[in-house]
Amino acid sequence: EDQVTQSPEALRLQEGESSSLNCSYTVSGLRGLFWYRQDPGKGPEFLFTLYSAGEEKEKERLKATLTKKESFLHITAPKPEDSATYLCAVQSPDTGRRALTFGSGTRLQVQP
Amino acid sequence: DTEVTQTPKHLVMGMTNKKSLKCEQHMGHRAMYWYKQKAKKPPELMFVYSYEKLSINESVPSRFSPECPNSSLLNLHLHALQPEDSALYLCASSQVPMTGSNQPQHFGDGTRLSIL
C-alpha cells in the first residue's frame, strides 16, 4: 500500500527565514510525486511534478527535490503570502486506483 | 482562478433533500475525479471517471451518485445524506493516466457542503 508522510505537521517562520518541508513516501513503482499548495477554503493548487530521483523543479521562492525515498520542498526567503498548507502526493499504477495518495500536509505560517 | 469550475460554492441541505454538485473543465482532460476533504485532512478519493466511464468507486455509500454527461462535465448527485457527510467536495481533472509517467491533477475550489 502506498504511504506518504509529511513533516513537520506545522511550521511557523519569520519572513525571510528559509526552511524545508519533508515528504517521505513508499510506493511500488513511482509514476509521479506531486506538490500542491492549498489555501483555506480553496482547492489544492498544483505546484510541481517530480518523476525520478535527482530531479529538481523551481518556481519563485520554491524548489522541489526528489530522492528514492523522499522529497523536499525548500522555501527561500519566504513571504507572508507563502502561508498555506503544502500537500505532497504520489501516484502509482500498482494500486489500481490511478489516483493520488496524499500526505497529511504541512501547515506553513510566515509572519511579517 | 482555477480552470476547473465547481458550483455551488456552498450548499446547506437537510438529510431528506436531493441536490447535485457540478464540475466543469475545458482543458481537454478525459479523466475526472471526485474527492472528499474533511477539515485539516488531505483529500480522499471517491470516484474516478475515464473517458466518461466510471472506472473507480472507492466503496462510497450509494447516497452519493456520480454522473459524467460528457467529457467536460461531472456531477455528484446527493440524496439522504448524513451529518458526517459535511465536508469540502473537490473535483479534479487530468489527462488519462498512462502506464508511464502521469500528469498532474488540477483541482477546482470545491463545494462546501453542510448537512443539517
Tens place of pLDDT per residue across chain B (116 aa): 569 999 999 999 998 889 999 999 999 999 999 999 999 999 999 999 989 999 888 889 999 999 999 999 999 999 999 999 999 999 999 988 766 667 889 999 999 999 99
A45, A46, A55: best mutation site toward chain B, by most B Cβ within 10 Å? A46
Eight-state DSSP code of residue A30: -
* pLDDT at residue number B27: 93
Q: Determine the length of chain B.
A: 116
* pLDDT at residue number B101: 67
Strands A19-26 and A70-75, how do they pair? Answer: antiparallel
Q: pLDDT over 90 for what percent of chain B? A: 78
CA separation for the pair B2, A24 (Å, rounded): 28
**Shortest CA distance from A5: residue in chain B:** B42
Q: Which residues of chain B lie closer than 8 angstroms to A31, CB-CB? A: 97, 100-102
Nearest chain A Cα distance for residue B65, angstroms: 19
Contact state of A99 with B48 under an 8 Å Cβ cutoff: yes
Q: Which residues of chain A lie closer than 8 angstroms to B102, CB-CB? A: 31-32, 91, 98
Say which residues have a Cβ less than 8 Å from residue B1's Cβ, sequence separation at least 6. none
* pLDDT at residue number B96: 81
Q: Helix/strand/coil (H, E, C) string of A49-106?
A: EECCCCCEEEECCEEEEECCCEEEEEECCCCHHHCEEEEEEECCHHHCCCCCEECCCE
CA separation for the pair A88, A104 (Å, rounded): 8
What are the cell numbers at A77?
Answer: 526567503
What are the cell numbers at B64?
Answer: 452519493
* pLDDT at residue number B1: 54
* pLDDT at residue number B57: 85
* pLDDT tens for each residue of B91-107: 999 988 766 667 889 99
> What 3-state class would DSSP assign to B54?
strand
* pLDDT at residue number A91: 83
Residue ranges in chain A modelled with pLDDT below 70: 92-98
Contact state of B45 with A99 under an 8 Å Cβ cutoff: yes
